[in-house]
């Protein structure tokens, strides 16, 4: 079993860009190593007789047909709520000089 030591904890701290207080380091090391022990127990399970699945539920959501709709009034309704619009476009403040 691999263990997380102080060097690896320091590297994880750097990569995750978090600060671990000195008074919490021992507890965090202990918790992370307990987690790794749990994962090692899971690795011992023989799951070769089970088929790989991506979902425990065998149902799927019904899909609608993707048929384009040409309803120009929708765009007009949206543009009516815009502070400024012109020729079916939104007018926005210039942000790049």
What global pTM score does this model have? 0.48
Helix axes 22-43, 6-16, angle to 10 degrees: 100
For the chain, what are the domain ranges?
Answer: 6-43
Mean pLDDT score, 66-71: 86
Confirm if 9 and 29 have CB atoms less than 8 A apart: yes
Backbone angles phi, psi at 18, to 5 degrees: -120, 160
* Percentage of residues in the chain having pLDDT higher than 90: 47
Confirm if 93 and 87 have CB atoms less than 8 A apart: no
Mean pLDDT score, 5-30: 93
User: Position of tokens 């022990």?
Assistant: 37
**Confidence band of 18 (pLDDT split at 50, 70, 90):** very high
* pLDDT at res. 62: 82
Give the CATH number of domain 6-43; options: 1.10.20, 1.20.1050, 1.10.530, 1.10.1060.
Answer: 1.10.20
């Amino acid at each position: 079993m691999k263990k997380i030591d102080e060097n690896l904890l320091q590297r994880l701290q750097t990569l995750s860009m978090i600060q671990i207080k000195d008074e919490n380091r021992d507890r965090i090391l202990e918790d992370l190593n307990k987690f790794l022990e749990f994962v090692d127990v899971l690795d011992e399970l023989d799951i070769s007789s089970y088929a790989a699945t991506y979902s425990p539920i065998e149902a799927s959501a019904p899909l609608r047909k993707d048929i384009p709709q040409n309803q120009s009034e929708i765009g007009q309704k949206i543009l009516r709520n815009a502070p400024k619009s012109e020729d079916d476009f939104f007018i926005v403040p210039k942000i790049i000089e």
